[in-house]
Each structure stands twice: as structure tokens, then as C-alpha cells.
Structure 1
Amino acid sequence: MKKIPLLLLVICFSFTGSQIQPEAVIQEKTTYYFVRHAEKVVSKTNRDPELQPKGELRAHKWARVLKNIKLDAVYSTNYKRTMATAQPTAESKGLSITIYHPTEIDYEQFKKDTKGKSVLVVGHSNTIPGFVNKMIGKDNLYIVELVDNMISDQVLYID
């Protein structure tokens, strides 16, 4: 009779030590860095101008800003100014630049292809806001105002 309580005690401790622990949920993180191309040479006749010297400096600054960020991919439109903006960062990361066409891109496929990655996307002032909206599934208007040294920003959206 004395053995039964001892046996029950051993069984109880055995089960409490071997409880099934739920597996940790690992969330896959995808990060996009959207950048407008740096300052280009202004030309009324050339639709594909190079970067001006100030733009080249800015492109190299982006590489320094992104220096400590592990990037898995760099995307750019097929224009000299966007490619030249992306190049210093891609080069510093040992990555090639993948060309995308803003009017032809399948955003859902892009999300699948870049899932779990950190991605730099270089585009234009008239394509980056639309790209961001497609990625987040919204139709926002981004307003940034610069007055002297004061910067203000707003995001407007319509339900």
C-alpha cells in the first residue's frame, strides 16, 4: 500500500517534466528600402541622363547609410540615373542589380520573390509612391514639405 503513493508521485513528476512545449513561432521578416534616384543632369532632350556630381556623391552616401544593413537584393529601373544610384550600394554588398519595369511589375510575385529578404528598390519620384502603395495595399498620398530647415510630412489616405 505504501508503494502506490510513491508510484503515483513518481508518475506525476515524470509527466510534469515531459510536458510538450509549443514550438517557437519564427516570423519571416521582409524589409524594403525605397530610394528615389539621386540628382540627375537636367536635360530637355536626353530622357536618360547621367547623375550630376552631387548625385554621384548622394549615391555613395546611400551606400554608407546602408553599410550595416544586410541586403539580399537590389532592384532598379533601367535608367542611367537609377542604376548609378543603386550601383555603389550593390557593389559594396557584392550584389548585382535586378532591373524592374514599374509599368510591368507583378507586385504579388515581387512580394513572393523577396519574402524574408532585405531589398533596396531604386526608382523615380513618380514611381516609388505607387510602388509603396502596391506593396502595402493602400492608396496613400505622401506629402513632404521643406521650408528653410523645417521638414514636415503627412500621409493622406482615402477609405
Structure 2
Amino acid sequence: MMGLLAACASAPTRPAAVLPAHADAETVFILVPHAETAEDDPDDPALSPTGRARAQALARQLRDVPLEAVYADEFRRTQQTVMPTLQARGDLKLSRYFSRGPLDQTARQWRQQHRGHVLVAGEPEAIAPLANALCNCTVRPLQAGETDRLIRITAVAGSPVRVEDRRYGAPP
């Protein structure tokens, strides 16, 4: 397994998201697309063996990260992507969000609700728009097959939001 590769951070193109004034803790959103899928169901496929290996790599990568919440959208493949991370902890449960809903409202709610580290898995085409809404900046869209992207958004009250675009696991 390859470790995280350092990549360039995205510079905000609009004013950075602002946390409530009472927020003194760091909030970190970790966004990943679902891992590689099988061809078992055209509407809601499971993860392939490669995808299951990537989900395990994600769990290993986040082993020491103190997650406070884990979100996945309504699809089986995204839920299976975060399942090894949840199983390794035992103290967290999966929260679901609607991937076709208003992502700006979802982002606003999460920014207000959470302090600490939050893992979010979603459809590849929804990850960049969700990241954009969370950081109030522009994140490079995922390309087809970029199942190894990990976008880390760090926000601290009174500081600019930091965005890191990384890779994890074996190259797809």
C-alpha cells in the first residue's frame, strides 16, 4: 500500500468558510469517493475485491485519526467504503446523507454541527461540489477512476481554511 502522497493545497477563490465565533476547536472533513465497484448490480453495485482492499487501506490510513462522525450517501458502495473504518472503531455508527440533495445545505449543517474529524464518502461526481461547499473554495473535480483521492479540509475559527488533495492506497 502506498501511503498518502503530499499534493498541493487548493487556494480559496472566495472568502473561506467561517466557523461560529464560539468554535475554538479544529474541524477536519476527510472526503473520499467510493472505492472500486463490482459489476453485480448496475443500479447499486457492491465493492469489487480491489475496492474492498482500498476500503481496508482507508481504515489503516485513518487508524489514528480521532473521528467523531462518519457519513456515506445512500449507495451500498459508499457505505462499504467506510465500513472497515467503522468496524475498526466500534464506537461510531454510520450516518447517511442524500447525495442528490442540496450539498450547500448539507455542508452548512455539518460545519455547524461538528468539531473534530469527520469522514465523508460519496459518489465521485459529488465529492468536489461537497468539498467546495465545505471550504467555500474551488477543489479540482475528480476524474473517472480516481478512487484513491482523499480531500482533507481543515477549518479553525479565525484562520483560513486549508485544503489538501491527497492520494491513499494503491494507485487505481
Match runs of 1:60-71 below 5 Å: 60-71=56-67
Match of 2:30 among 13, 20, 33: 33
Cα offsets for 1:110-138 (capped at 9, x unmatched): 21111x12100001110000000001113
Q: Partners of 1:124 and 1:138 in 2: how far apart? A: 19
Q: How many residues align?
A: 120
Equivalence for 1:132: 131
Which runs of at least 4 in structure 1 moved beyond 4 Å after TM superposition?
A: none
Larger RCO: 1 or 2 (CA < 8 Å, sep 6+): 2
| Higher Rg of the two aligned structures | 1
Alpha-carbon shift at residue 72 of structure 1 (Å):
0.7
| Higher share in helix | 1
The whole-number CA distance in structure 2 between the counterparts of 1:139 and 1:61 is 27
Does the 8 Å contact 1:71/1:93 carry over to 2?
no
Q: Using the alignment, how far apart are the partners of 1:57 and 1:63 within structure 2?
A: 10
Q: Which residue of 1 aligns with 2:154?
A: none
Give the Cα–Cα distance (whole angstroms) in 1 for the partners of residues 138 and 99 of structure 2: 16
Q: What are structure 1's unaligned runs of at least 5 residues?
A: 1-25, 147-154
Q: Which amino acid aligns with 2:44?
A: D
RMSD of equivalent CA atoms: 2.4
| Counterpart residue type for residue 117 of structure 1 | G
**Counterpart amino acid of residue 66 in structure 1:** L
Whether 2:77 is the aligned partner of 1:81: answer yes
